[in-house]
Structure 1
Amino acid sequence: MIPITEQPSLYDQLENKSVEELTRYINQEDAKVAKTIEGVLPSVNNLITAIVDKLNAGGRLFYLGAGSGGRLSVLDVIELPTTYGLPKGIFNVVLAGGIDRLADALEEKEDDRSEGWNALMDAGITPADIVVGISASGTTPFVLEGLKKCKSLNITTGCIVSNPSTPIAAQSDYPVEVVTGPEFITGSTRMKCGTAQKMLFDMISTTVMIRIGRVEGNNMVNVKLINVKILDRGVRMLMKKAEIESYDEAKTILLTHGSVKAAMENMMKKHN
């Protein structure tokens, strides 16, 4: 049986379609993604809870991926130290071909059966951590063999796949199967599968950051003050939270302590 991700597109003769038709059809397909994710939220919630539990106990998350999904996980993870002040090394990615070759799209590396596990070993993987495989097909050897090794050593596993009942899901304690159907271009899983993966990475990382205390109210109180825009946002955030009327005073306090959270904690200590 042909995997759903490889089944023929619902559309044909695309070269004969107008720009208006093509964009309308692509948008119709994209509209299916959020609804599909809604149907698997219980599985997503279980995976997020497992990640939070591991991180709260001092463990780490590793995304293990290849292709478009693996590259999208890199883009998500590199944002977290700046956006949430998360120490590097808590959220990690093991990418087929290596993160340093991200732009080279070394698709052939997804067939390597040992590189993923070797990279996890180099990172000192232990049962305190959790490894989440990323594979649209659910069969990628790089991901599958890495998860098999993890399972054999009682390392908690999860996955995000786009076909039902896959070998990778079978090796996962917390599988998330987001079956978005045939792609607009047959087999082009950078499209709906990639959109679903991006949405899930956003959902996972944001929810985890909130649950481990990197967000207060609806604010990024640990954001790194790396540019003028973020500094201004931080100053205004501190002015509101600490009821400081002077912009310059709030800016001085913020720059002294490096983050809104640290500034608030220091001010509370002085007040008490």
Structure 2
Amino acid sequence: MSNSYVGRFAPSPSGPLHFGSLIAAVGSYLQAKANQGTWLVRIEDLDPPREVAGAAANILTTLEAFGLHWDREVIYQSQRSAAYQDAIAQLSQQQLTYFCNCTRKQNHAQGAFYQGQCKYKQLSADNAALRVTTTAPVNYFIDELHGKIDINKALAAEDFIIHRKDGLFAYNLAVVVDDIYQGITQVVRGADLIEPTGRQLYLFTQFAQSAPSYLHLPLASNVDGSKLSKQNHAPGLDRRQAKMGLIDAFRFLALPASNELQDLSIPQLVEWGTEHWSVKNLPRQKSIVLGQ
């Protein structure tokens, strides 16, 4: 890859960064820097009810403490509503959108996936979500780490929500609009986000834009198999233990990290990580249990 590489880390401010977040941050940073590229940070604050006061600032402070410095201004999705509205207008002009007032309960009664019940009803926007019509489903994509990934065909063909009933923009729409805006050339993120990749690729096509490539890192999991997450009360990162946190992240990502690395400064550690980064050595699992 050339030095036109642009990567990003895009956390949601629903709590402090935990070790699972650090894996995504370190992996995306090292992949960008090993390719002489640019590394950006985007705060995905689209969902106010899930946000924790002060979490966005805490995330940025934590990244800096771990030596992960972004290259351009941080963007906040909460300030990008006009761009998302423009994107919806573009899809609507292509007659690819329609309103849907089905509840989750109604959808589940029809089967695992939405069956298009509202497609031809010509409903109003009142108490309705906006769906995009999937005309050419993306049934697979090539991941740099995992190779060909097949997507459930029923999921791939589903008309999915791009604007929610509660007035909030949907993740799949916002992430594509922002990846286009920021010129992202590769998305490096956790394997929990493999499933929506097909929908995002579909939207890139509808916007007539080149899609980035994808690299989904293994998830850090608890012994019970659940992913390390804010919902599962994963402990926040201790900024005072940034060196050990980085070394643990390096080991998780299969870098040859020894205990002698503790003698390095944080900037030296990050430089060492960049020099020793290798996608070829990454674990091929979608999930790795911590402590095993």
Structure number with the higher helix fraction is 1
TM-score, normalising length: structure 2: 0.29
Question: Which is greater in Rg?
Answer: 1
Report the structure, 1 or 2, having the larger strand content: 2
TM-score w.r.t. length of structure 1: 0.31
